[in-house]
Amino acid sequence: MIGRTLLRRVRSLWVRIRHRTRALVRRGSIEREMDEEMRVHHEMEIEDRIRSGMDPMEARRTALRDFGGVERFKEESRAALGVAWLDSLVQDLRFGLRILRRRPMLAALAVLTLAAGIAFPTAAFSVADTVLHRPPEGVPDPDRLVQVRFRSPHDSRMRETGLSHLNLRDLGEAALPTVTHLVGSAENSYQVVTPDGAARHLHSEAVEGDYFGALGVSPAKGRLLSAAETVAGPAVAVLSEEAARRLFGEGSAVGRRLHVNGASLTVVGVAGNGFRGVHRGRSTDLWVPHGLHPTLLHVESDTYHRRDASTLFNLVARLRSGARAEAAENELREAMERLVEAYPEQNGRYADYQPTLYRYLGIRPSAREWFRRSMLILVAAAFVVLLVACANVASLLVFNGLRREGESAVRQAIGASRPRLVRQHITEGALLVGAGLVLGAAAAAWLSREMISEGINRYYSFSFEGAVVEGRVLAFAAACGGISVLLAALLPALVVPRVDLVASLKVFARKRTGGRGRLRAGLFVTQIALSLSLVVSALLLRGSLRNLQEVELGFESAGLMEVALDPRRQGLDQAQLAEYQRELLRGVATIPGLHSVAGVGDGPLRAQFRADLRPGGEGGGWPIEAWAEHVTPGFFGTLGVPILRGRDFTADDLERSWESDAGVAVVNEALARRLSGTVEAVGLEIVQRGYRENRVLEVVGVVADSRMRDLRGERDSGLYRPLGDSYHSRTALLLRSDRPSAEVIEDVRGVVNGIGLPVPFQRAAPLTDLVDELTTEERLLARLMTLLSIVAVGLAGVGLYGAVASSVEERVREIGIRKALGARMSEIAGQVIGEVLRLTAFGLVAGAFVGWGAARLLENRLFRIEPLEPRVWFAAVVACVVLAVAAAALPARAAARVDIVRTLKG
Amino acid sequence: MGKEMGDLLHGTLDLLILRTLQFGPLHGWAISKRIRALSKDVLEVNQGSLYPALYRLEGRGLLESEWGTSAEDRRVKLYSLTSEGRGRFVEERSVWRDFSSAVERVLGPVAPEAG
Read off the pLDDT of each residue in B28-42 and give the average, rounded to a whole number.
90
Does residue A10 belong to the interface with chain B, where contact is any CB pair within 8 Å? Answer: no
Residues in chain B whose Cβ is within 8 Å of chain A: 2, 27-29, 32-33, 46-48, 51-53, 55-56, 58-62, 64, 67, 74-77, 82-84, 87
Q: Which site among A11, A14, A15, A66 would you substitute to test the B interface, given the most B Cβ atoms closer than 10 Å to its Cβ?
A: A15
Query: At residue B115, does pLDDT exceed 70?
Result: no
For chain A, how long is the longest CA-to-CA vector?
A: 139
User: If you measure CA to CA, which chain A residue comes closest to B69?
Assistant: A40
Question: For position A402, what pLDDT does the model report?
Answer: 41
Which among B48, B56, B82 is the nearest to A11, CB-wise? B82
CA-CA distance, B46 to A638, in Å (whole number)?
A: 108
Question: For position A513, what pLDDT does the model report?
Answer: 56
Does residue A3 belong to the interface with chain B, where contact is any CB pair within 8 Å? Answer: no
Of A206-220, A287-301, B18-32, least confident by mean pLDDT is A287-301
Higher pLDDT, A479 or A412: A479
What confidence category does residue A66 fall into, taking pLDDT thresholds of 50, 70 and 90? low
CA-CA distance, A795 to A112, in Å (whole number)?
A: 10
Query: At residue B114, does pLDDT exceed 60?
Result: no
Does residue A35 belong to the interface with chain B, where contact is any CB pair within 8 Å? Answer: no
Which among A8, A36, A44 is the nearest to B87, CB-wise? A8
Q: Does residue B54 contact residue B17 with C-beta atoms inside 8 Å?
A: yes
**Cβ <8 Å between B47 and A73:** yes
**Cβ <8 Å between B55 and A77:** yes
**Cβ <8 Å between A45 and B29:** yes
**Residues of chain A contacting residue B91, judged by C-beta atoms under 8 Å apart:** none
**Residues of chain B contacting residue A77, judged by C-beta atoms under 8 Å apart:** 51-52, 55
Share of chain A above pLDDT 70, in %: 88
Does residue A70 belong to the interface with chain B, where contact is any CB pair within 8 Å? Answer: no
Does residue A52 belong to the interface with chain B, where contact is any CB pair within 8 Å? Answer: no
Query: At residue A38, does pLDDT exceed 50?
Result: yes
User: If you measure CA to CA, which chain A residue comes closest to B88?
Assistant: A8
Cβ contacts from A onto B, under 8 A: 84
Query: At residue A806, does pLDDT exceed 90?
Result: no
Q: Which site among A6, A7, A8 would you substitute to test the B interface, given the most B Cβ atoms closer than 10 Å to its Cβ?
A: A8
**Cβ <8 Å between B51 and A37:** yes
**Cβ <8 Å between B46 and A68:** yes
CA distance A1 to chain B (A): 12
Return the SS3 of A77.
helix
Question: For position A768, what pLDDT does the model report?
Answer: 86
What confidence category does residue A195 fall into, taking pLDDT thresholds of 50, 70 and 90? confident
Q: Which site among B3, B47, B67, B89 would you substitute to test the A interface, given the most A Cβ atoms closer than 10 Å to its Cβ?
A: B47
Q: What is the mean pLDDT of chain A?
A: 83
Query: At residue A570, does pLDDT exceed 80?
Result: no
Read off the pLDDT of each residue in A271-286 and give the average, rounded to a whole number.
85
CA distance A412 to chain B (A): 25
Question: For position B6, what pLDDT does the model report?
Answer: 43
Question: For position A74, what pLDDT does the model report?
Answer: 66
Share of chain A above pLDDT 90, in %: 23
Of A81-85, A304-308, B37-41, least confident by mean pLDDT is A81-85
**Residues of chain A contacting residue B32, judged by C-beta atoms under 8 Å apart:** 41
Q: Which site among A10, A14, A16, A37 would you substitute to test the B interface, given the most B Cβ atoms closer than 10 Å to its Cβ?
A: A37
Residue A442: other Cβ atoms inside 10 A: 13
**Cβ <8 Å between B60 and A16:** yes
Q: Does residue A60 contact residue A47 with C-beta atoms inside 8 Å?
A: no
Question: For position B2, what pLDDT does the model report?
Answer: 41
CA distance B100 to chain A (A): 27
Does residue A58 belong to the interface with chain B, where contact is any CB pair within 8 Å? Answer: no
Does residue A82 belong to the interface with chain B, where contact is any CB pair within 8 Å? Answer: yes
Read off the pLDDT of each residue in B24-29 and give the average, rounded to a whole number.
90
**Residues of chain B contacting residue A82, judged by C-beta atoms under 8 Å apart:** 59
Which helix (H) or strand (E) segment is A731 a member of? strand A731-737
Query: At residue A827, does pLDDT exceed 50?
Result: yes
Mapping DSSP onto H, E and C, the string for A104-151 reads HHHHHHHHHHHHHHHHHHHHHHHHHHHHHHCCCCCCCCHHHEEEEEEE
Which among B32, B33, B47 is the nearest to A68, CB-wise? B47
CA-CA distance, A469 to A481, in Å (whole number)?
A: 15
Read off the pLDDT of each residue in A790-806 and give the average, rounded to a whole number.
90
Of A336-345, A531-540, A696-705, least confident by mean pLDDT is A336-345
What confidence category does residue A310 fall into, taking pLDDT thresholds of 50, 70 and 90? low
**Residues of chain B contacting residue A76, judged by C-beta atoms under 8 Å apart:** 48, 52
Does residue A786 belong to the interface with chain B, where contact is any CB pair within 8 Å? Answer: no
DSSP alpha helix (H) spans, A708-824 = 741-755, 767-774, 776-810, 812-820
Read off the pLDDT of each residue in B38-66 and give the average, rounded to a whole number.
85
CA-CA distance, B81 to B69, in Å (whole number)?
A: 18
Query: At residue A384, does pLDDT exceed 80?
Result: yes
Read off the pLDDT of each residue in A289-312 and give the average, rounded to a whole number.
75
**Residue A191 main-chain phi, psi, to 5 deg:** -90, 125
How many contiguous H segments (helices) and E segments (strands) does chain B have?
Answer: 4, 3
**Cβ <8 Å between A68 and B48:** yes
**Cβ <8 Å between A68 and B83:** no
Q: Does residue A120 contact residue A447 with C-beta atoms inside 8 Å?
A: yes
Which among B59, B64, B67 is the nearest to A81, CB-wise? B59
A residues 558-597 closer than 8 Å to B (CB):
none
Question: For position B7, what pLDDT does the model report?
Answer: 44
Pairing of strands A718-722, A624-631: parallel
**Residues of chain B contacting residue A37, judged by C-beta atoms under 8 Å apart:** 28, 51, 76-77
Which among A42, A45, A77 is the nearest to B52, CB-wise? A77
Sheet holding B63-69: strands in order across? B26-27, B75-81, B63-69
**Residues of chain A contacting residue B2, judged by C-beta atoms under 8 Å apart:** 66
What confidence category does residue A409 fall into, taking pLDDT thresholds of 50, 70 and 90? low
Read off the pLDDT of each residue in A712-729 and give the average, rounded to a whole number.
83
Question: For position A778, what pLDDT does the model report?
Answer: 87
Does residue A20 belong to the interface with chain B, where contact is any CB pair within 8 Å? Answer: yes
The DSSP letter of residue A733 is E
- DSSP per position, A351-414: TT-EEEEEE--SS-HHHHHHHHHHHHHHHHHHHHHHHHHHHHHHHHHHHHHHHTHHHHHHHHHT
For residue A362, which of A520, A541, A128 has the smallest C-alpha distance? A128
Which helix (H) or strand (E) segment is A884 a member of? helix A870-896
**Residues of chain A contacting residue B62, judged by C-beta atoms under 8 Å apart:** 12
**Cβ <8 Å between B60 and A36:** no
CA distance A379 to chain B (A): 51
Return the SS3 of A258.
strand
Report the range out of A58-72, A252-266, A417-431, A448-462 with the highest average pLDDT. A252-266
Which among B2, B62, B77 is the nearest to A37, CB-wise? B77
Which among A16, A41, A68 is the nearest to B29, CB-wise? A41
Residues 6 or more apart from A248 whose CB is under 8 A from it? A194, A256
Question: For position A149, what pLDDT does the model report?
Answer: 85
Question: For position A509, what pLDDT does the model report?
Answer: 41
pLDDT, tens only, A628-672: 999 999 999 999 999 999 999 999 999 888 888 878 999 999 999
Does residue A48 belong to the interface with chain B, where contact is any CB pair within 8 Å? Answer: yes
For residue A532, which of A792, A320, A735, A322 has the smallest C-alpha distance? A792
Does residue A8 belong to the interface with chain B, where contact is any CB pair within 8 Å? Answer: yes
